[in-house]
Amino acid sequence: MSLIKNNNPTQTKSWKELDQHFNEIKEQSLIDLFKKESNRLAYLSFDEGNFYFDFSKNHLTKKTLSLFASLANEMGLIEAKKTLFEGQKINKTEDRAVLHTALRNLKNKPIILDGESLMPLVFAELYKMKDFSTKLREGQHLGYTSKRIENIVNIGIGGSDLGPKMVCEALKPYWVKGITPHFISNVDASHIDPLLQKLNPETTLFIIASKTFTTQETMTNAMTARNWFIKHASEKEIAKHFVAVSTNSQKVSEFGIDLQNMFKFWDWVGGRYSLWSSIGLSIVCTIGYDHFIDLLKGAEKMDEHFLNSPLESNAPTLMAFIGIWYNNFFKTQTQAILPYDQRLAYFSKYLQQADMESNGKSTDRNGDKIKYETGQIIWGEPGTNGQHAFYQLIHQGTKIIPCDFIAAALPAHNKTDHHDKLVANFIAQTEALMKGKDILTIKSELGQKNISNEEIKALLPFKVFEGNRPTSTLLMDKLTPENLGSLIALYEHKIFVQGFIWNVFSFDQWGVELGKQLADNILTEIKTGDLQESHDFSTQKIIKKYLSHKNKF
Ligand code: G6Q
């Protein structure tokens, strides 16, 4: 399969110009940029759908954006976007197309893969989810003692867990009455045990979500759930309480789940991009089908924006540029995601996987070792909690941490006082990070206290905030299913653009595969006590230590 232009981005003319431009801009503070350009908002902020984007508090000028636009042209970004949406096999190391966008193609534009029309398959699965979730909600699908299902347990990990968990948490105000979702991922039984203790098997449905249906953690938890269930009910009742979401019907069948209770998806849906597929079954059951469709609609809107908007107002592309600017030129290493919304508690964790698994690569698309920086370290917590924890380092540390501040203007509750305070903090932080606090202000503050000039002098260096810390602001009107869909798709496309420019394959994850394989090998040794000589001496000793502890009990 041919891949646009296999460019090393650092060898392009635009990259070299960006390098020179960086030397011009690096000494200019954000405040300088604001003083020079009173019209910054005209080109660094815009409304798009229900979102307002403000990128002005970043170390950017018109020239920066125009050089990035040239870089995108030199690399062939427009053609690359087409290959994504058309379903070319851009996940080359796995020989797969990358078509999560087909899952929210509600306008039903034809998509053909290997001669097969995909949209009928996508809609068939959507309707199956609709049917199932309606039956649950309306009490047509009952448990083995004819009671309604009240608890749904999604058993999955990584891409089969983080997306649905994040979305269900974010959309709590939309939960259908009488159904509570739970998410079990860790193979540590401390995760599943306490949950099983409080669940009633008569009213519990397990969704075993695994693309491969071979993942150790998921299969172990699924088996534990199954064993717990058949302690209370006979095996033939499993059909009413266990459904599977997978691409692997053989393994689903072997596990003992009737294929009628299997929801399909396909190898062209990557795990971390799969919440739009039947991996989203727990979402559909939790918020209802119509709201799930709204989620898809929001993502579809963002897809269209990404495909069709010019670069200067193309939110995912600009965010990708900003990330590359900091990562590769300012050498910032990390990117904080700071949603001022408790409902987005899992959003940064979700993005951590989406981004770091996609672009945490050091081999380029030609198979060569990469000599420049690629994927950023993504992290974050909801505000205002983070303010009382790690913001100290963002304000006064030695590292520059670009931050995305995200908030919804309207809350889902009526406690206006809480929300005004939340939003006040959200706005105040971006301003403070940019402006800092200068000596004069601090002097005057300290002057009002009853302390000597000498003490003031001694305290000053600790109290100064240099500011000049970059932030981007994303303000949506409300955290609705539709807006959440757009927000997630926004970051998905940001990741795509960055991976494309960095010249990596964003849609494989060999590091994850390695983890799966290594654990299996050591597990065999732990179970048999037969240690392999091939381990290094440190690893050998740790295994032996574990076995000696284990054998004491
Ligand atoms: C995602 C990754 C990974 C995967 C999990 C679970 O893109 O591939 O996080 O989702 O390892 O895999 P299964 O869905 O196959 O159980």
Structure tokens at 431: 């301003």
The whole-angstrom separation of Cα 374 and Cα 392 is 27
User: Which ligand 1 atom lies nearest to the CA of residue 217?
Assistant: 16
pLDDT at res. 411: 97
Task: Based on the fold, state whether residues 487 and 523 are members of the same structural domain.
Answer: no
| Proportion of the chain above pLDDT 70, given as a percent | 99
Domain assignment of residue 229, yes or no: yes
| Whether residue 377 sits in one domain with residue 425 | yes
What is the DSSP pairing of strand 116-117 with strand 151-155? unpaired
The parent domain of residue 455 ranges over: 436-469
Cβ–ligand 1 contact at 252 (below 6 Å): no
Dmax over CA atoms of the chain, in Å, equals: 82
**How many CA atoms are closer than 13 Å to the CA of 380, on its beta-carbon side?**
31
CA dihedral over 445, 448, 453, 455, signed as positive or negative: negative
Q: Same domain, yes or no, for 137 and 40?
A: no
Span from the CA of 130 to the centroid of ligand 1 (angstroms): 24
Q: Is residue 267 part of a domain?
A: yes
Q: Are residues 274 and 342 in the same domain?
A: no
Verify that 169 and 228 share a domain, yes or no: yes
Rounded to the nearest angstrom, the distance between the alpha carbon of 349 and the centre of ligand 1 is 15
Q: Before 480, cis peptide (omega within 30)?
A: no
Do residues 325 and 412 both lie within one domain? Answer: yes
CA 265 – ligand 1 centroid, Å: 13
Q: Is the CB of 272 under 6 A from ligand 1?
A: yes
Q: For residue 12, what is the DSSP state? A: S
| Residue 301 is assigned to a structural domain of this protein | no
Ligand 1 pocket check for 270: Cβ under 6 Å: yes
In a domain, 84, yes or no: no
Q: Per residue of the chain (553 residues), what is the pLDDT tens digit?
A: 444 455 899 999 999 999 999 999 999 999 999 999 999 999 999 999 999 999 999 999 999 999 999 999 999 999 999 999 999 999 999 999 999 999 999 999 999 999 999 999 999 999 999 999 999 999 999 999 999 999 999 999 999 999 999 999 999 999 999 999 999 999 999 999 999 999 999 999 999 999 999 999 999 999 999 999 999 999 999 999 999 999 999 999 999 999 999 999 999 999 999 999 999 999 999 999 999 999 999 999 999 999 999 998 999 999 999 999 999 999 999 999 999 999 999 999 999 999 999 999 999 999 999 999 999 999 999 999 999 999 999 999 999 999 999 999 999 999 999 999 999 999 999 999 999 999 999 998 888 888 899 999 999 999 999 999 999 999 999 999 999 999 999 999 999 999 999 999 999 999 988 888 888 889 999 999 999 888 999 999 999 999 999 888 7
Rounded Cα–Cα distance for residues 99 and 259 (Å): 24
Q: Identify whether residues 239 and 357 lie together within a single domain.
A: no
The answer for residues whose C-beta is within 8 angstroms of residue 536's C-beta and 6 or more apart is none
For residue 296, the one-letter residue type is L
**Rounded (to 5) percent helix, strand, coil in the chain:** 55, 10, 30
Of the residues 157, 166, 220, which should be mutated to test ligand 1's pocket, given the most ligand atoms within 8 Å of the CB?
A: 157
Same domain as 201, residue 121: yes
Look at residue 166 and tell me if it is in a domain.
Answer: yes
DSSP class of residue 148? B
* pLDDT score of 1: 41
Distance of CA 545 to the CA centre of its chain: 37
DSSP string, 388-424: GTTHHHHHHSSS---EEEEEEEE-SSS-HHHHHHHHH
How far apart are alpha carbons 390 and 96 in whole angstroms?
A: 40
How far apart are the CA of 110 and the centre of ligand 1, in A?
A: 28
- In the three-class reduction of DSSP (H, G, I as helix; E, B as strand; rest coil), residue 522 is classed as helix
How far does the centroid of ligand 1 lie from the alpha carbon of residue 363, in Å?
Answer: 21
Please tell me whether residues 24 and 161 are part of one structural domain.
no
Contacts 24+ apart (CB under 8 A), 524-530: 526/550
CA distance 382 to 346: 9
CA-nearest of 325, 314, 427 to 59 is 325
Q: Give the residue, by CA position, lying nearest to ligand 1 atom 9.
A: 158
**Residue 90 belongs to a domain:** no
Give the 3-state secondary structure of residue 242: strand
CB of 384 within 6 A of ligand 1: the answer is no
Q: Is 81 in the pocket of ligand 1 (CB under 6 A)?
A: no
In this structure, how many other beta carbons lie within 10 angstroms of the beta carbon of residue 193? 12
* Ligand 1 contacts CB of residue 248 (under 6 A): no
Domain limit, last residue, from 418, 453, 469: 469
- Catalytic positions are 357, 388, 516
Q: Is residue 82 part of a domain?
A: no
* Number of domains, the chain: 4
Q: Which residues contact 300 (CB under 8 A, 6 or more apart)?
A: 104, 105, 106, 107, 485, 489
The number of the ligand 1 atom at minimal distance from the alpha carbon of 357 is 7
* Residue 261 is assigned to a structural domain of this protein: yes
Residue 102 Cα to ligand 1 middle (Å)? 19
Count CA within 13 A, CB hemisphere, residue 83.
Answer: 20
| Identity of the residue numbered 223 | M
290-325 pLDDT tens trace? 999 999 999 999 999 999 999 989 999 999 999 999
Asked whether residue 157 falls in the same domain as residue 288, the answer is yes
Closest CA to 88 of 114, 107, 110: 114
Tell me, yes or no, whether 518 and 500 share the same domain.
Answer: no
Q: What single DSSP character describes residue 4?
A: S
Question: Could you tell me if the CB of 211 is within 6 A of ligand 1?
Answer: yes
Strand partners, 54: 45, 473
Domain boundary among the residues 292, 317, 336 is at: 292
| 189 and 48 in a common domain | no
